[in-house]
Structure 1
Amino acid sequence: MSDLALVFSTFNPTPSLIETVRGVAPQHPIVVVDDGGGDPHDVFPRLLDEGARVLRRPTNDGIAAALNAAIAVAFEDGAAAVVTFDQDSTPSPDTLRVLHATWKQASSAGQRVSGVVPAQFAEVRQTRSDDALPVARRVIQSGMLIPREAFDSVGGFDEALFIDLVDTDYELRSMTLGYRIIAAPTRIDHELGRPAPLRPFSPLPPTISTMVSTPFRYYYRMRNRLILTRRYLRTAPLRMVTDLAIDLAYFALVAASARPRRLMAAVLFRGAVDGCLGRGGRAPAKTQVAAARISWSVAK
């Protein structure tokens, strides 16, 4: 599998990344990209000692830009495919072997494959099919194998989205171009946000347990959901309407559970406006300041 390179996107990484890289470095070229963060734990010099190539970006331009830069380096160095990872994913050599074998199997079967993902990502199933080469749906980029040929044809991650749903956009763009993303019979461990027992009507019950993200992420999630809905409504209407409805219900829960509610409402509203207008890039500074003041109403 020497034709397979691994790409890790990072932002203020912890020392656990060193152990992750050490476990896979002997078998694969590794590119680690810093998305304009810092190095509070002196991780990057130690990654260099492990044989990784480290790219330090001067500004935080979002995960899409960071991944595109690292993937370009990996392909320039001769990789035929890359597997992308977030810094808190923990791939095993066996997972990489299965992803690579599934890619080769699908290619030999004549399928146009733009990605291969683990069938199980943490607690999330990425396929509902029992086929030998099942199509994945609603994929997550961490743990995704991307062939060079497909990346050149489909294009990189959309840097205007900055963060959130960049993997969904890649999946939907692949579909419109006749490619498939396949689920491989393996899993990857990953920390998906944090579970929280939200109390939207505090101090009254009920308590609703769900995953929550850092408050500023909801600007991007709202904005990018609307951008993708507009972009793919004609080619995937049922999925776009379904996903939008699910997200809007979730955003309502988030808004009701945030404190102060008016600030989360403002964050979501700004995301909705920018999404309808098709504006990309970093969240406005005022929105970032408002999001930093938000906390969650949770059960004690």
Structure 2
Amino acid sequence: MQKTLISPSVVGAVVVTYQPDLTALHRLLQALPSAIVATVVVHNGGWDDDACYRRFVSCVQHPRRQWVQMSGNAGIAAALNRGIAELTTLGCTHAWTFDQDSCPRPETLDILWAAWQAAARQMPVAAVVPAIHDQGTGNTLPFLLEHPSGVLEATPIHQTQPVAAAITSGMLLDVAVWQTSGGAREDWFIDHVDTEWCFRVRAQGYGVVAVPAAVLQHELGHTRTAFYRSNRTVKVRSALRTYYMLRNGWALARLPHAPQGWLPYFWRQAWRIMLVAVVYGPNRWQQLRAMYRAWWHAQRMDV
């Protein structure tokens, strides 16, 4: 474990797992610095193979770790809510949240905490987030910015600044803000859960601050080479993930706290998602059905 400058009495970690690669999970747990007062591993689903399950249990057992077994796959939102609730019982004021296939660099927490302290002099802060380095493509993900005109754009940044939204993996967040804002929407299950929460707390007057000097390594889904450009890769999703990505993105546009630029921005994303789903699949007929159901349900969801 790495020594950090952050107070050991305030920050706990939440790691959400679903059939994880145990090597990657072990690497993440070992990389968490000694300043983390406790780690809550929230397990959303196991294996039919008892041997794999026993190896998982062995991996997460540690005096400073708690293990929460959800009832089946309850989704990322429910798992985050449960993990952060566990941290509140331990007196943690901040939560550092992770997907199972991510790993911070040794200095990441110190950089995030210093950035939080600096930003808090200018605004109430709900969360600070690192740059996400996609191990599958070798690229660093852009951040979602809202321009003064209201236009939303995903663009690279090179200095610490507020952003419109960010993913929860690697996010250092204020536990009290999470709880008082209502936490993650569990009925949204997975995709855009983080985007919706960021929009919600920003509407309540908080900032979400990106810190590109802090880096999180992350494996972001499956990729394959685009057939028309040998040097370009595309993200390939299951039909279920296509459904949630589209449904929740369209539903988000109906919420009062969504920025006015979200719908035109997301339509550009949606066309790309649907094109990739139809061209690359897998299971193209299921993908088409998922798209139709996503649009139908998004217009009828209780938002």
TM-score interval, normalised by the smaller of the two chains: 0.7 to 0.9
Q: How many residues align?
A: 272
Segments of 4+ moved more than 6 angstroms = none
What TM-score does the superposition give when structure 1 sets the normalisation length? Answer: 0.82
Shift of 1:103: 1.6
Indicate the SS of the match to 2:191. coil
Higher helix share: 1
Query: Match of 1:116?
Result: 128
- Give 1:177 shift: 0.9
Q: Percent identity?
A: 26
Is 1:37 the equivalent of 2:46? yes
**Aligned residue in 2 for 1:4:** 11
CA-atom RMSD in angstroms: 2.3
**Structure 1 counterpart of 2:43, one-letter code:** D
Tell me which residue corresponds to 2:21.
14
Whether the 8 Å contact between 1:21 and 1:50 is mirrored in structure 2 is: no
Q: How does 1:80-229 map to 2 (within 5 A)?
A: 80-107=93-120, 109-122=121-134, 123-126=140-143, 128=156, 133-184=160-211, 185-199=213-227, 209-229=233-253
* Change beyond 3 A, Cα 1:223–1:235: closer
User: In the aligned structure 1, how far is the partner of 2:163 from the partner of 2:229?
Assistant: 34
One-letter code of the match for 2:119?
A
Counterpart code for 2:168:
Q
81, 99, 122: which is aligned to 1:68?
Answer: 81
In the TM superposition, what is the alpha-carbon distance from 1:182 to its structure 2 partner? 0.4
Unpaired stretches in structure 2, ≥5 consecutive residues: 1-6, 135-139, 145-155
| AA aligned opposite 2:98 | F
| Closer/same/farther in 2, CA of residues 13 and 195 from structure 1, 3 Å limit | closer
TM-score (normalised: structure 2): 0.82
Using the TM superposition, give the Cα deviation of residue 193 of structure 1 relative to its aligned residue in structure 2, in angstroms: 1.2
Which structure 1 residue ranges, 5 or more long, are not aligned? 200-204, 281-300
SS across alignment from 1:183: strand
Measured after TM superposition, the shift of residue 206 of structure 1 is 6.9
| Letter in structure 1 aligned against 2:187 | A
Q: SS of the residue aligned with 1:216?
A: helix
Instruction: Give the counterpart of 1:268 among 270, 276, 291.
Output: 291
